[in-house]
């Protein structure tokens, strides 16, 4: 797959799924295998638990994670003891998780491993930095359901998005949901001058005036906006939400906007927890969402099979999704064409 070369331009990569069972582990195994063939030393870890033989929800078989000689992996003490390979411990983290201390080890012979890594993005960032300082040029982080934070450009330099029949067995619905998410990944960045002003702000809701000065609106979180009477537009039509944004804020902005064209700025796309309906209403009233930093999307990979047994025509689904998004979409397994639509 041509996107492998693009991965090599970055220090870190996250693999995130639009839903559970969209093929993240299959994609991870493909990437690890190709990088091994190319002689690229790689570290791998997870923000959840990955590599189980059986899905905990659907009780279906799942692919295990294969790592190769020369690679580095970070996992919990519990799952390190369950590895099916020979490895050498590099370090053991002092902080203890619910599954024991985090163990960093180098692979001496190829085999299977369960990954259960850091629970916080700050820890992940430190691990990426440590691996880089130790001569490992690329760290890959496998995601978990509803843990999109690792795809933030403040955590990883690049990302792969996994989608597929698990999102919807209906091709048009799959395209609609994936396209909506893809739109957020590609939200426009603010200019560098405004970035310098807003990036240090870590909490609250702020208004930005015409001179680019940020004014604290006295609201600790966008979720608390309805608890007090606040003139959101006292300084203009631009707002910066430092934390998560839900439908509630968009609906309030849409209701209060009047003739104003509101610009809502968020840190990055992982802060958005909004529905297509709320977003469409906001945009229809002249609203616009910008980000401080844009995530670098390396590729979109598609799993045509759902855990319920639905199977999309891989070639047709990849082609239709690629046409809708305007970028290539890959099925790393190249499933033979079968159609249940």
In degrees and rounded to multiples of 5, residue 263 shows phi and psi of: -110, 120
User: In whole angstroms, what is the distance from residue 29 CA to residue 151 CA?
Assistant: 19
Q: What is the pLDDT of residues 19-52, one digit of tens each?
A: 888 989 999 999 999 999 999 999 999 886 654 4
Give the per-residue pLDDT at 147. 58
**HEC per residue, 264-326:** EEECCHHHEECCHHHHHHHHHCCCEEEECCCCCEEEEEEECECCCCCECCHHHHHHHHHHHHC
- Residues paired with residue 31 on neighbouring β-strands, in sequence order: none
Residue 308 pLDDT: 85
CA pair distance 45, 139, nearest whole angstrom: 8
For the chain, domains (ranges, CATH) are 3-185+295-330 (3.40.50), 192-291 (no CATH)
More confidently predicted of 104 and 116 = 104
Instruction: Give pLDDT, residue 256.
Output: 76
Q: Which residue has the tokens 């968009």?
A: 250
Residue given tokens 């426009």 in the structure block: 188
Q: What is the mean pLDDT of residues 299-318?
A: 92
- Residues facing 133 on adjacent strands: none
Q: Residue 261: pLDDT band by 50, 70, 90 thresholds?
A: confident
In the chain, the percentage of residues whose pLDDT exceeds 70 is 90
When pLDDT is cut at 50, 70 and 90, the band that residue 104 belongs to is very high
d(Cα 174, Cα 170) in Å, to the nearest integer? 6
pLDDT at 317 over 50: yes
- Looking at residue 154, what is its pLDDT? 83
Contact 302, 276 (CB under 8 A): no
- Rounded-to-integer distance, Cα 47 and Cα 14, Å: 10
Count of CB atoms situated within 10 Å of the CB of 193: 8
Count, residues in the chain: 341
| Higher pLDDT among residues 207 and 57, named by residue | 207
Alpha-carbon distances of 336 from 40, 128, 157, 276, 329, rounded to whole Å: 30, 37, 33, 33, 16
pLDDT of 258: 65
Q: Kindly report the pTM of this predicted structure.
A: 0.86
Assess contact for 335 and 304: CB atoms under 8 A.
yes
**In the chain, how many H helices and how many E strands?**
9, 19
What average pLDDT does the segment 280-302 reach? 94
Residue 145 has pLDDT above 80, yes or no: no
pLDDT of residue 341: 33
For 112-126, 180-194, 249-263, 327-341, which range has the lowest pLDDT when averaged over its residues?
A: 327-341
How far is Cα 341 from Cα 336, in angstroms, rounded to an integer?
15
Percent of the chain whose pLDDT exceeds 90: 67
- Is the pLDDT at 239 greater than 90? The verdict is yes
Q: pLDDT band at residue 274, thresholds of 50, 70 and 90?
A: very high
Calculate the average pLDDT of the chain: 88
The H-or-E segment that residue 110 falls in is strand 100-113
Q: What are the tens digits of pLDDT across the range 174-217?
A: 999 999 999 999 999 999 999 999 999 999 999 999 999 999 99
Higher pLDDT, 220 or 85: 85
* 218-227, 242-251, 305-314: the lowest-pLDDT one: 218-227
Closest listed residue to residue 303, CA positions, set 34, 29, 47, 56: 29
> Environment class of residue 133 by beta-carbon count within 10 Å: exposed (0-12), middle (13-18) or buried (19+)?
exposed
pLDDT band at 62; cut points 50, 70, 90: low
Distance separating the N- and C-terminal Cα atoms of the chain: 27
Average pLDDT, stretch 299-309? 91
């Amino acid at each position: 797959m041509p996107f492998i070369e693009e991965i090599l331009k970055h220090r870190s990569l996250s693999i995130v799924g639009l839903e559970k069972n969209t093929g993240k582990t299959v994609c991870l195994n493909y990437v690890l295998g190709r990088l091994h063939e190319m002689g690229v030393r790689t570290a791998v870890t997870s923000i959840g638990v990955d590599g189980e033989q059986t899905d905990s929800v659907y009780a279906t078989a799942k692919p295990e994670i294969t790592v190769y000689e020369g690679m580095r992996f970070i996992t919990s003490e519990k799952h390190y003891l369950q590895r099916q390979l020979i490895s050498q411990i590099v370090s053991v983290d002092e902080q203890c998780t619910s599954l024991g201390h985090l163990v960093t080890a180098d692979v001496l012979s190829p085999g299977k491993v369960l990954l259960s890594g850091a629970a916080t993005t700050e820890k992940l960032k430190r691990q990426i930095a440590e691996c880089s300082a130790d001569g490992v040029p690329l760290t890959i982080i496998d995601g978990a359901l509803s843990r999109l934070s690792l795809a933030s450009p403040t955590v990883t330099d690049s990302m792969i998005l996994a989608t597929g029949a698990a999102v919807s067995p209906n091709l048009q619905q799959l395209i609609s949901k994936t396209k909506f998410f893809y739109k957020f990944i590609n939200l426009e960045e603010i200019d560098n001058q405004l970035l310098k002003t807003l990036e240090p702000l870590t909490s609250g809701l702020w208004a930005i005036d015409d001179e680019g000065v940020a004014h604290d609106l006295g609201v600790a979180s966008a979720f608390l906006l309805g608890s007090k009477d606040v003139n959101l537009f006292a300084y203009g039509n631009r707002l910066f939400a430092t934390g998560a944004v839900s439908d509630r804020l968009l609906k309030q902005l849409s209701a209060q906007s009047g003739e104003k064209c509101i610009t809502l700025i968020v840190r990055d796309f992982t802060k958005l927890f909004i529905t297509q309906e709320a977003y469409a209403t906001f945009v229809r009233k002249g609203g616009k969402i910008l980000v401080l930093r844009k995530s670098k999307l390396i590729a979109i990979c598609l799993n045509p099979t759902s855990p319920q047994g639905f199977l999309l025509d891989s070639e047709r689904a990849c082609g239709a999704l690629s046409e809708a998004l305007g970028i290539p979409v890959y099925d790393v397994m190249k499933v033979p064409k079968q159609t249940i639509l």
